[in-house]
Structure 1
């Protein structure tokens, strides 16, 4: 099996990750039929089906899943080695694929992206925003961004963005006029709230801290959503108390449409980290981004 074409293996990995011939073909700049032919050659050579194809879906078989799991890091090593050679000749080029939380995609990453892309115009950046925790390598990403408690221990992590962030609690002036201002987190059990529910259905309780004291509650909610825009709109309309990242609420607070409450119980925590596998040959775009972030931290005196 040593004569398996690397291009066919790479084509399989692309289709298996995207679960779509068309999407994989569009991202690679080739035709879907070319990828389909590569898959046929590979499956014929191996004598096993790697992908189940129907008119509506493409899903890896068990054999395909096992091959993809082993193949993804190996292809990454090859791409990294080639990119490193290319970067010694020219400026870094290629695609950098990041998986980040929505707060990072909307608030923290945009100013960094502008400076990074201007410094490295030959790099293409692909960002996927989601709040669930995934295996970034198996999913085909070069790196992920998460908060400290969700970074796997075997990954390399470097700071990205502000080193301290806060959760704050707020409500509309007319809501507070009608229902009164909560003086303690437990008072929220008698209030209406606007809460966030993740796409997987999980709805985290609210955690408050004051000194060494920690209080965790699950207040009743009048609005549940997985989009922050709707949640903020509901809070501004006086439908309940909201608790989320300070960056999301700051514009509404500065405009007077929301008022902070329970200020003594705001929660501070470390800012996000870029994390990636500690392999020897990083892809040139990822290496450039890592070096960029380290430079940003040095300039900020962190």
Structure 2
């Protein structure tokens, strides 16, 4: 035996109101629509639920018993829907994002504290991961990656700086000993501190100037996993251990302090900033929708 929810709701509304017309006045359906719904319900259960006269509607014994059990259940359903409505008005729950460490530093450091302060009912779960993952399969609501690594069939919006650059740098003591490289090929004669993805691939160092792009694959005394080992690479460079190649915004504080000096600055390549991406679903989870709206309202720094 199966009954349509809307037919059950119509039956309960008629019983509460004491008639079809009264139920129609208090609801958003006509008396004839309510009457048809009750008829369908009676046919589905195989019993008469209401006795109808020209002046009065009364429940049968079966109708009375059904209403006694149905009315509290419909109240629970209504309360559950009210919870969802409240979440839509004040988003709550967990928001899981998959992001690389570089984005944590370049974008999320500024965004997250303000977002959490304005949405106290949302818990932000950040998976810091440099590898390229399927965010849906990984159980994440969304991810943040750079343009060349975005998944297809995803909606993407800019987050953080619109433009960024990679920068090469070394300590004054290192440059005093080894000299300042003048062109990217000079790096092949220097100690370069390298990074490697968890997959094992090691990205080459890219440089560009006047429309010319060069890729360099230098050697050096250290190779670390990109993400977890980057701080060690930076500190090794500060200590004079070699040349580091990293996001410019990571290195700017060290340029200002004088702990590192720019190397080949007129060759630093520029690229588009990171994007928040998520599946193109019609119904976006409320915590993610709140984060998307928050990001869109914020001005994007140029770099």
User: What TM-score does the superposition give when structure 1 sets the normalisation length?
Assistant: 0.69
Q: Would the aligned equivalents of 2:160 and 2:301 in 1 still touch at CA under 8 Å?
A: no
Would the alpha carbon gap of residues 285 and 83 (structure 1) be closer, same or farther in structure 2, given more than 3 Å must change?
farther
Q: Would the aligned equivalents of 2:161 and 2:301 in 1 still touch at CA under 8 Å?
A: no
The corresponding residue for 2:177 is 178
The corresponding residue for 1:135 is 134
- How far did residue 286 of structure 1 move? 0.2
- How far did residue 86 of structure 1 move? 4.0
Matches within 5 A, 1:185-264: 185-226=184-225, 227-264=229-266
- Return the index of the structure with the highest Cα Rg: 2
The corresponding residue for 2:87 is 87
DSSP 3-state at the match of 1:221: coil
- How far did residue 264 of structure 1 move? 0.9
Q: Does 1:294 align with 2:296?
A: yes
* Range with greater deviation from structure 2 (244-253 or 183-192): 244-253
DSSP 3-state at the match of 2:241: coil
Matches within 5 A, 1:80-159: 85-88=85-88, 90-159=89-158
* 1:98-156 superposed Cα distances (whole Å, 9 cap, x missing partner): 00011112332021011111111110100011111000001000000000111122100
| Cα distance in 2, alignment partners of residues 112 and 257 from structure 1 | 28
The corresponding residue for 1:15 is none
Would the alpha carbon gap of residues 259 and 197 (structure 1) be closer, same or farther in structure 2, given more than 3 Å must change?
same
| Cα distance in 2, alignment partners of residues 83 and 129 from structure 1 | 31
- How far did residue 195 of structure 1 move? 1.0
* 1:152-190 superposed Cα distances (whole Å, 9 cap, x missing partner): 221000010110111011111111111110000000001
5+ residue gaps, structure 2, are 1-80
| Cα distance in 2, alignment partners of residues 140 and 85 from structure 1 | 24
| Cα distance in 1, alignment partners of residues 130 and 139 from structure 2 | 17
Would the alpha carbon gap of residues 223 and 239 (structure 1) be closer, same or farther in structure 2, given more than 3 Å must change?
same
5+ residue gaps, structure 1, are 1-80
| Cα distance in 2, alignment partners of residues 169 and 296 from structure 1 | 30
- How far did residue 202 of structure 1 move? 1.6
Would the alpha carbon gap of residues 281 and 83 (structure 1) be closer, same or farther in structure 2, given more than 3 Å must change?
farther
User: What TM-score does the superposition give when structure 2 sets the normalisation length?
Assistant: 0.69
| Cα distance in 2, alignment partners of residues 159 and 101 from structure 1 | 15
Q: Would the aligned equivalents of 2:144 and 2:275 in 1 still touch at CA under 8 Å?
A: yes
| Cα distance in 2, alignment partners of residues 82 and 151 from structure 1 | 37
- How far did residue 82 of structure 1 move? 9.9
Quote the RMSD (CA, aligned, Å). 2.0
Q: Which runs of 4+ in 1 moved over 3 A?
A: 81-86
Q: Would the aligned equivalents of 1:170 and 1:260 in 2 still touch at CA under 8 Å?
A: yes
The number of residue pairs the alignment matches comes to: 220
